[in-house]
Copies of this chain bind each other. A is one copy, B any other.
Amino acid sequence: MANAFVEKLRGYASLTEADATILEAACSTQRNVAARHDLIREGDKPGSVFVMLEGWACRYKILPEGGRQITAFLMPGDFCDMHVSVLQEMDHNIGTLTPARVASIPRARMEELIDTHPGITRAFWWTQLVDEGILRAWIVSMGRRKSSARVAHLMCELYVRMRNVGATTGDSCEMPLSQIVLADALGLTSVHVNRVFRKLRLAKIMELRTGSLIISDIERLAQIAGFDDNYLHRRGAAAV
């Protein structure tokens, strides 16, 4: 059974069975990490590349006044910057949100993979471009969408990303994020996020239970969000 990382990269056409096996092996160094634990902190010298195998993490920054802004969610299958080691130091933190299982690919092994396996390298490029697309989509959301659309858009994105790694069951998926965490990602307060979820729940569009998201009316959700999944660059993707 392939891990979520390999599963995700398989969604990209050029990854062969042989490549998948090699990737699987590259993730052999694994460790369990508790929830709310930083994998790497701002100012640290980047070393190995992390791969999320189980559990969720996020990239975040803390502001001088104490506020937190999450800039990305890392779910099973996601990994962190194939070339970070080029940088002298990290400009943000990465921390777990749930208990997680994380693989580390040493810098040398990464470079070896890149040098010798063009298919894997292309798959890495692809994930990096998708991650950039997600960053841009977040900027669009924060800049020009009102709170309901912003919440709806994030839920659409996370649902589709979970589906892309085969982690959805029908119209629901695992989503171990508190409203506080979502607020820190959306640039809202948890109080307001709560009111938005209340409205969407009463409108029978979606519901956020502890640990999971249930979407009852994905069409209306996508419509409220103005969601177009093109930025996730799934090969042969069907529209939502």
A233 CB, nearest partner CB in chain B, Å: 6
Q: Is A133 an interface residue, CB under 8 A from the partner?
A: yes
Q: Is A128 an interface residue, CB under 8 A from the partner?
A: yes
Q: Is the CB of B187 within 8 A of A144?
A: yes
Q: Is A201 an interface residue, CB under 8 A from the partner?
A: no
Copies in the complex: 2
Question: Which one of B83, B122, B226 contacts A63 once the chains associate, using CB atoms below 8 Å?
Answer: B226
Chain B residues within 8 Å of A138, by CB: 139
Q: Is the CB of B233 within 8 A of A91?
A: yes
Q: Is the CB of B231 within 8 A of A143?
A: no
Q: Is A132 an interface residue, CB under 8 A from the partner?
A: yes
Residue interface mask A137-168, B partner, CB < 8 A = 1: 01110111100000000000000000000000
Q: Is A109 an interface residue, CB under 8 A from the partner?
A: no
Interface size class of A (residues with CB under 8 A): 35 or more
Chain B residues within 8 Å of A59, by CB: 136
Q: Is the CB of B87 within 8 A of A136?
A: no
Chain B residues within 8 Å of A142, by CB: 139, 142-143, 187
Please, how many angstroms separate the alpha-carbon atoms of A185 and B140 in the complex? 9
Please, how many angstroms separate the alpha-carbon atoms of A119 and B63 in the complex? 35
Question: Which one of B65, B87, B186, B233 contacts A143 once the chains associate, using CB atoms below 8 Å?
Answer: B186
Q: Is A190 an interface residue, CB under 8 A from the partner?
A: no
Q: Is the CB of B84 within 8 A of A129?
A: yes
Task: Give 28 pairs: A residue, B residue, CB < 8 Å, sorted on A.
Answer: A42-B230, A43-B230, A59-B136, A61-B136, A61-B140, A63-B140, A63-B145, A63-B226, A64-B226, A67-B144, A68-B144, A69-B144, A71-B136, A71-B139, A71-B140, A83-B128, A86-B122, A86-B125, A87-B233, A89-B230, A91-B133, A91-B136, A92-B231, A135-B136, A139-B139, A143-B184, A143-B187, A144-B187
Identify 20 new A-B residue pairs, CB closer than 8 A, beyond the known A67-B144, A69-B139, A139-B142. Answer: A61-B136, A61-B140, A63-B144, A65-B226, A69-B143, A71-B136, A71-B140, A83-B128, A84-B129, A89-B230, A91-B133, A91-B233, A92-B231, A131-B132, A132-B135, A135-B135, A142-B142, A142-B143, A142-B187, A143-B184
